[in-house]
């Protein structure tokens, strides 16, 4: 590599001019309101879960893929999947699991939480969720599990409606 020398290109003049500008600061507050939505597919997913307690998915016949979370377009072939909705039972199998020792703020948790990626039966997807009523030593890969939802009157159509999954007996 060539050492830096007098031959090196000069710094663009615009940048050097900016160095000499004193920044001006106005202090204040800007009230901002926003509404977060989970998108068309996500909204339908959570509203159906809230009302009926089942998962909605979309299906690409061409690719033989069933999307959970549902997708409006196939991620492989870009086909429109907006007319391919179907419902599946909220049951699946533990695909992988771990013990989490910190809370959402990164502080040490009083007790560890058992978290798993659960593959949902009849789909090619799944979700990351808590495992309930299962001792860490008892978790097994492919263990059948079922959804535990918040009571109907407390569901708000958000991810918080899903309390977790427990062993399917």
Using rule CB under 5 A, residue 80 touches Zn ion = no
Site string for Zn ion, 41-70 (x = CB under 5 A): -------------------x-xx-------
Tokens of 10: 């000069």
Three-class secondary structure assignment of 44-92: HHHHHHHHHCCEEEEEECCCCEEECCCCCECCCCCCECCCCCEEECCEE
Using rule CB under 5 A, residue 76 touches Zn ion = yes
Using rule CB under 5 A, residue 72 touches Zn ion = no
CA distance 68 to 142: 18
Using rule CB under 5 A, residue 100 touches Zn ion = no
Residue 59 or 93: which CB sits closer to Zn ion? Answer: 59
Tokens of 80: 């429109």
The residue range among 29-37, 41-49, 76-84, 138-146 that interacts with Zn ion, by the rule CB under 5 A, is 76-84
Q: Where are the beta strands (DSSP E) in 103-167?
A: 108-120, 126-132, 144-149, 162-167
Give the total of residues touching Zn ion (CB under 5 A): 7
Residues that bind Zn ion (CB under 5 A): 60, 62-63, 74, 76-77, 79
């Amino acid at each position: 590599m060539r050492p830096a020398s007098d031959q090196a290109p000069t710094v663009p003049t615009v940048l050097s001019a900016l160095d000499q500008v004193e920044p001006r600061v106005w202090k204040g507050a800007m009230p901002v309101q926003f509404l977060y939505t989970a998108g068309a597919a996500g909204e339908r997913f959570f509203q159906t879960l809230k009302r009926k307690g089942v998962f909605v998915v979309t299906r690409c016949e061409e690719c033989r893929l069933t999307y959970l979370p549902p997708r409006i377009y196939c991620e492989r072939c870009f086909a429109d999947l907006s007319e391919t909705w179907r419902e599946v039972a909220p049951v699946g199998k533990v695909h992988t699991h771990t013990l989490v020792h910190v809370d959402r703020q990164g502080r040490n948790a009083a007790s560890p939480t058992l978290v798993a990626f659960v593959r949902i039966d009849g789909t090619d997807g799944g979700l990351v969720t808590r495992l309930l009523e299962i001792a860490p030593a008892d978790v097994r890969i492919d263990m059948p599990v079922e959804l535990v939802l918040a009571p109907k009157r407390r569901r708000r159509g958000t991810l918080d409606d899903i309390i977790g999954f427990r062993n399917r007996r």
